[in-house]
Structure formats: structure tokens, C-alpha cells
Structure 1
Amino acid sequence: MNPNPAILKSSVDVMSITEREVRPDFDAAISDVNHNGLPQAVWARRGREITDHFTNNPSIKVRHVHRGGIWQFEAIVDVEGRELYLLMTHQNLKRLQKLFMAKGYSTHYLFSLLHLNPAPIFKQQELLPLDSDEEEAREEDCEKILGEFAGMIDKVYVVAFDYVDFVVAKGAVYLCDQAGSTINSFDISDMLIAKNVTDDDDALGSDRVKAPKKAEPLVKLKKKA
């Protein structure tokens, strides 16, 4: 695994946005007594931020993918590396992995995109092979999701995060096989620590406060003989 460090850093920044940051604006603009739609507002803010991160980067693009009536997610494309990155909570990733293994098929966008990753290594993961219609539907959905980047992606990574009391606590990047099982992963929680240190420095000011110099008296008194 050799994921793009710039994308990982931006993922940490964006996924650090939670209801804690979005709720004041939501209360002011929509409702302070009914928070239906707040989780979607959080993802919308994250989508805006990740797009802003790479606006002027010719080698990294953000694709905005609509699913169903109102849901949308952002897929980050490393054009030169031929890789695609998805952001989600660790809880949701684990839920989807269990679903894929139990059902053998899903219309979820992650399952469609994992078509691009390596085939399962262990034969027991192939107990429920896809029929031709399911496989065709999966490939078509994958191409639809990728849009202009169809045929340009060789690998899909998932960058997933854990939260405690609306504060991001841990993060990791995953490479999964076509069945959704984890092939490899590594922890990026140290990037969260680095971000928190930077945020603290920005809040306090990057220049350290210098100790005041000892004031020189304006008039020097003569010493008594």
C-alpha cells in the first residue's frame, strides 16, 4: 500500500468536521429545535471542504456522485496514481463489510467500486459467486459512478474514522478485495495528533510569546560613598 499522502492529510482535515462544527450554522439557518438533516449537513460541509482542498490541483480531482433522490458522496481521484479514495466512518465500513460477506451482493456504491480491486484470495469468500446479471449491473454502476474517470482507476482505498463525542479519535486507510474483505490497512491516527497540534498553534498564534526584557531605569542613581 502506498496511498497518496496529500489525500490522506486532506481526509484527516475534512473528516475532523463533525456536528459540533456544523450545528451552530444549522441552528441559525434551518432550525434550532429540529435537527433532522444535520448528519447530511455535516457530509455536505465535508464535501465542500474536500473540493476546496484540491480546486487548483491538476492531478487530484473530486467527483460528486448522486445516489438516489437526495444523497450524494464525494470520491477523490488521484489521476496520476490511478487511485480512488472514499471517506466514511469506521462503523459504516465494518457494517458494509459484514453485509457484503453475508449477502454476496449489494447495490451500495462501495461494493460496485470494489469491482476494481483484487479478487478474493481465500476460496471460502467465493461461496456466493455473482450471476452474470449481477456482475454486469455491478460493472455498469461502477462506470456510472466514475463518469469521466471510467477506465482510469486501478485501485480503490477507503479512509475510515472513529469518533468519540463528536470528536474524531482514530483513522485508518483500507484496501479491500472485491468481496469487501480487508487485504491490508494501516493506521493514520498520528496524522490526527499532528493536526491537533497545528490547530492549537493556529489558535494561540504561531509565534511564541517572548519573555519581557528587564526594563532599564531612566535615571541611574549614584552609589553612596
Structure 2
Amino acid sequence: MDVATSKEQVIIDGILHAMSITEKDVVDDFKGSISKTNKNGLSFNVWARRSDDLESQFAKHDDIEVFHIKRTKLWQIDAVFDRETGNIYLLFSDTTLSQVRNKYMKKGKSTHYSYSFLLKNIGLLPIDGEAVELIPYTDEEIEILNLRRQKDIEKMLGNNAENVKKVIMVSVSYHEGEAIAALLQEYTSNYELSSEKDVSFMLNTAYSGDGAMYDDGIQPMESEQSLVTLKSIKKAE
């Protein structure tokens, strides 16, 4: 996957700016307005702050929209949509995405929203070594499953459902309250990895809360960067 255009840089910069917000950035506000002795709900506040930050990042871009999708009474999804390309970006921590994928691989189906969205990637092929053997379903069963996925997409996006052409995952790794690594990943409709791009070098962990990315424009994107992972950090400790 090549991230080359300035438009794509704007999108990834904005997403990673928001995803760099962690509990340490909201805990003081949480203690002041919610509770000094109980952190239940703190993670919800992190995502709430990220949601506002995404709106701030893309406020000047008419062709970039942040979808605030109500999934339950207590939870919403904040996805970024590029109206020009039809790409929708789903935001994850690496641990959550791994858990969602592993559950699907074991059961062969999923009720997670990302599984529904991946119906849009039905034409993508897995990279070498990523093809997996899943629980076999008949053609009729697959048709029923995909119909449910399509209905779920329409429920989440309404009239925008048909405008989404491809799904891209933004997966961020964290260590001791800091975002340390980030990947752009495309998956097949069965959660098999189709392409991957390391964008860790674009992370700005010094979240200031001012909603600004860069005063002098977009930082240039490098072609190759080595991925910093939690595993490598743990080995160094």
C-alpha cells in the first residue's frame, strides 16, 4: 500500500493525531468532572476526546467526513471517510484489532462492525502466507451472511453506504500511555491481510490539545520506515 498523495497524508496525519490521545491526556479532566477515585469509563472519555479531535482535524476539508456511528447506547464508532476516493478508515488499537480477528478466525463469522465493513473489500486477495482455512459454509449460507453484513453497513451509514468503496484499518500500538507505532492495513472480506504500510514515523505523541497538526503544512511522508513494536521494546527492557 502506497501512501503518496497530499490528500492521503492529511487523512493519516489527522487520524494519528487523534489516536495519539491516551488516558494520560484526559485523566485530569476525568478526575475533575467525573470521579477522583474511580476510573470506570475513562477509556470512553479517551475515545470521546479523539472524536472531537478528528472533527477539528478535518473541519476545513469538505471532502473528508467523520462518521459518528451509534453502535450501542454507550458506544459509537468514529470513522473517517474520503468522499473523493470512497475509502473509509477504521481506527483501532493493535490489541483490539488482533482480538477481533482471532475471534473471527475461530468462529468463521463475527458480529463486529469491522466484519460488516470488510464486505466492501470482497475483491481483495491475501498476501502470501495470509490465506487461512475457515469454517466451510455453503454458497447459500455465505449469501445469507453477506446480506446481513450489507444490511449492517446500511444501518450504520444510511445513504452513504453505497459510496464506500474500500475499507482501510489504522492500527496503533501503545506502550506506557504513548502511541509508539502505526500501520495502515487492508484486509480481505475474511480478515486476511491484503496489504500493509508502516506509518509509525508520522506519529506525534506530544498531544497538545490544540487541534493543530503542523503550522507549516503537512510533513513529507517517507517511503520506508522500520516498525517499532511492543515486542521489540519488551526485549530491550
Aligned structure 1 segments of 4 or more residues deviating by more than 6 angstroms: none
SS in 1 for 2:154: helix
SS in 2 for 1:116: helix
1:15 aligns with 2:15: no
SS in 2 for 1:137: helix
Between the aligned partners of 1:167 and 1:179, the Cα distance in structure 2 is 31
Normalising by structure 2, report the TM-score.
0.77
Give the aligned residue type for 1:135.
N
Q: Residue in 1 aligned with 2:114?
A: 110
Given the alignment, which residue of 160, 180, 191 partners 1:169? 180
Report if the CA contact (8 A) 2:94-2:173 is conserved.
yes
1:61 aligns with 2:65: yes
Given the alignment, which residue of 42, 46, 51 partners 2:46? 42
Give the total of aligned pairs: 198
Normalising by structure 1, report the TM-score.
0.81
Shift of 1:56: 2.5
Report if the CA contact (8 A) 2:183-2:197 is conserved.
yes
Between the aligned partners of 2:135 and 2:60, the Cα distance in structure 1 is 46
- Deviation string 1:106-133 (CA, Å, 9 cap, x unpaired) is 1110000000003464775454334433
Which shifted more, 108-117 or 124-133?
124-133
Between the aligned partners of 2:32 and 2:102, the Cα distance in structure 1 is 39
Between the aligned partners of 2:124 and 2:77, the Cα distance in structure 1 is 26
Give the aligned residue type for 1:15.
M
Q: Residue in 2 aligned with 1:209?
A: none
Shift of 1:147: 2.1
Identify which of structures 1 and 2 has the higher relative contact order when contacts are C-alpha pairs closer than 8 Å and 6+ apart.
Answer: 2
Between the aligned partners of 2:39 and 2:10, the Cα distance in structure 1 is 33
- Deviation string 1:2-44 (CA, Å, 9 cap, x unpaired) is 4522111011110110000000000000101011000000001
Q: Residue in 1 aligned with 2:171?
A: 160
Shift of 1:159: 0.3
Shift of 1:75: 1.1
For structure 2, the 5+ residue unaligned runs are: 209-214, 216-237
For structure 1, the 5+ residue unaligned runs are: 200-205, 207-225
RMSD across aligned positions (CA): 2.1
Which has the higher Rg, Structure 1 or Structure 2? 1
Given the alignment, which residue of 84, 95, 101 partners 1:97? 101
Between the aligned partners of 1:159 and 1:124, the Cα distance in structure 2 is 22
Between the aligned partners of 1:87 and 1:124, the Cα distance in structure 2 is 24
What is the percentage of aligned positions where both structures have the same residue?
30
Report if the CA contact (8 A) 1:120-1:126 is conserved.
no
Change (3 A) 1:52 1:18: same
Q: Residue in 2 aligned with 1:25?
A: 29
Report if the CA contact (8 A) 1:22-1:42 is conserved.
yes
